[in-house]
Structure 1
Amino acid sequence: MKTQSELIIQQLKKISTASIATCLFKKGLRNQYIQNVTPLKKLKSNMVGRAYTLRYIPAREDLNPIEVFKDPKHLQRVAVEECPENHVLVIDSRKDPRAASAGAILATRLMKKGAAGVVTDGGFRDSEEISNLPMPAYHQRASAPTNLTLHQAIAINEPIGCGDVAVFPGDYIVGDNDGVMVIPQHLVDDVVSECQKMELFEKFVLEKVNQGTPIIGLYPLTSNDLRKEFEEWKK
């Protein structure tokens, strides 16, 4: 039997980020869309998972030589190893893609561990290799320099900012070809229910528009006749 979280993830895979954005806007949340990130390749299905976070600060040269990677407690490596299955690793790279947030080796490790995806508001190196993985990945643009030149890993699984959005551990992350939305975990049940109703209505609207029906009175639905027709259509 599926857990409640697994059922929610299954439902979110069928809901667009556009619908989620509108639903959250109606609830007063206007800033849940991660800015300036795109998928490394076109997706065939949504990326959905709970957020597991990694935060970078500006690198300080005396604390961030290349030898730090030898430390088994280096937080970038720890984040990759501890990111739970079916979660999305969300990386706060301060919106700075001049140095890579990670590369193909770490992304491949995430994929092998069962991560649902990875998102950074910076950039990835080895971007072509990452794009070929069977795991969604989002970034600003490709970036060859190692993260050590600009970024210092400072915290994992704490609240972060990614692309100007507050991301808390456990939030639901949904990505499609339009981008990535962050759903606060306490709202996810309502968001799923409302979005399913919204997308059902929009399917009806598209059918009517393709039949030549004018938008006024239909979208939004203010015509009583069309409202009755929609109720019959649902049956």
Structure 2
Amino acid sequence: MTNLKVETREKLKLVSTPTLMTALYKRGLRNQWIQDVRRINRHGETMVGEAFTLRYMPAREDLNQLEVFRDREHPQRKAVEICPPGAVFMIDSRKDPRAASAGSILVSRLMVRGVAGIVTDGGFRDTPELEKLDIPCYHNRPSAPTNLTLHQAIDINVPIGCGDTPVFPGDVVVGDGEGVVVIPAALADEIADEATEMTAYEDFVTEEVLKGRSILGLYPATDEQSLVDYRAWRTKTGR
């Protein structure tokens, strides 16, 4: 069962990952950005969901032959079938994109099951097909070799490291055109609220800057007049 409130999910869909990172930074959290991943299919809305994780370790050849996929309990295959709808499937591939973390068939299965997105700090194969799918996909770079070449799936829904960021099951993951941020579950509601307010002020600032206004005293709002103008803008725009 999800712990992510519907209203929190909707708020997070309307704010940017840089704004979320600033809100997290204010709370002393500096390492919540998944390093070196980018979105394959840039169309579609912002990705929001709770983390469901898969961990790879370096493959040992005698235990990682192609026959392992015949086992219905194989961690990679099983994880694809039990990842909850609305979750974000997060893969720890040890920041190694030399072998694929998954491909279009597994990602398609996640999509039709209602999973909100997939992120790996390694690579995906079949990227031309992934570009067409209606599920956000984030990776380091394309990688054709099967994951069995280098990666051995070992754990499902345990704490992992993804792109140098700690990810715990149930953390709230947000991905947009810039990248992916991980919000500790206990902070999701307050971060969503603060980021919503920050976004409103930033939209106001952007309009003012485009009119020719100086950022001094405006961004940040160190002049009282900036706050007076902002309140008037909110009344006018209904924000």
Q: Normalization by structure 2: what TM-score?
A: 0.95
Report what 1:192 is aligned to: 192
SS of 2:29's equivalent?
coil
The match for 1:225 is 225
Checking the alignment, whether the CA contact within 8 Å between 2:95 and 2:162 is kept in structure 1 is: yes
- Whole-angstrom distance in 2 between the partners of 1:22 and 1:99: 34
Question: Which residue does the alignment assign to 1:121?
Answer: 121
How many residues are treated as equivalent by the alignment? 233
1:156, distance to aligned residue in structure 2 (A)? 0.4
1:149 aligns to what? 149
What is the letter of the counterpart of residue 6 of structure 2? Answer: E
Which residue number in structure 2 is paired with residue 170 of structure 1? 170
Structure 2 unaligned residues grouped into runs of 5+: none
Q: Aligned residue for 2:56?
A: 56
Q: Which residue of 1 aligns with 2:9?
A: 9
SS at 2:148 equivalent: helix
Q: Is contact 2:44–2:134 with CA below 8 Å preserved after alignment? A: no
- Describe the superposition over 1:84-114 as per-residue Cα deviations: whole angstroms up to 9, x where unpaired: 0011100000000000000111011001111
Alignment-derived partner of residue 87 in structure 2: 87
CA distance in 2, matches of 1:137, 1:42: 9
* Rounded Cα–Cα distance in structure 2 between residues aligned with 1:205 and 1:53: 38
Distance 1:223 1:168 in 2: 41
Task: Report matched runs for 1:10-25 at 5 Å.
Answer: 10-25=10-25
Deviation for aligned residue 1:126: 0.6
Q: Give the 3-state SS of the residue equivalent to 1:41 in structure 2.
A: coil
SS in structure 2 of the partner of residue 142 of structure 1? coil
Q: How far apart are the structure 1 equivalents of 2:61 and 2:47?
A: 36
Equivalence for 1:99: 99
Measured in 2, the distance between the counterparts of 1:56 and 1:4 equals 27
Percent of aligned positions with the same letter in both sequences?
55
Structure 1 residue 232: Cα displacement: 2.0
CA-to-aligned-CA distance 1:125-160 (integer Å, 9 cap, x gap): 111111211101000011000000100001000000
Tell me, in whole angstroms, the C-alpha distance in 1 between the residues paired with 2:4 and 2:94.
33
Paired position in structure 2 for 1:181: 181
Secondary structure, aligned partner of 2:5? helix
Give the counterpart letter for 1:163 in structure 2. G
Equivalent residue number for residue 109 of structure 2:
109
Structure 1 pair 4/155, CA: closer, same or farther in 2 (3 Å)?
closer
Question: What 5-or-longer segments of structure 1 have no aligned partner?
Answer: none
TM-score of the superposition, structure 1-length normalised? 0.97
1:44 to partner: Cα distance: 3.3
What secondary structure, in the 3-state scheme, does the structure 2 residue paired with 1:51 have? strand
Following superposition, the deviation at residue 4 of structure 1 comes to 5.8
Q: CA RMSD in A?
A: 1.0
- Distance in 2 between the 1:104 and 1:210 partners? 43
Q: SS of the residue aligned with 2:209?
A: helix
TM-fit CA distance, 1:233: 1.9
Larger mean Cα displacement after TM superposition, 146-155 or 222-231:
222-231
Letter in 1 for 2:124: F
Preserved contact between residue 43 and residue 176 of structure 1 (Cα < 8 Å): no
Residues of 1 paired with 2:203 and 2:143: CA distance? 40
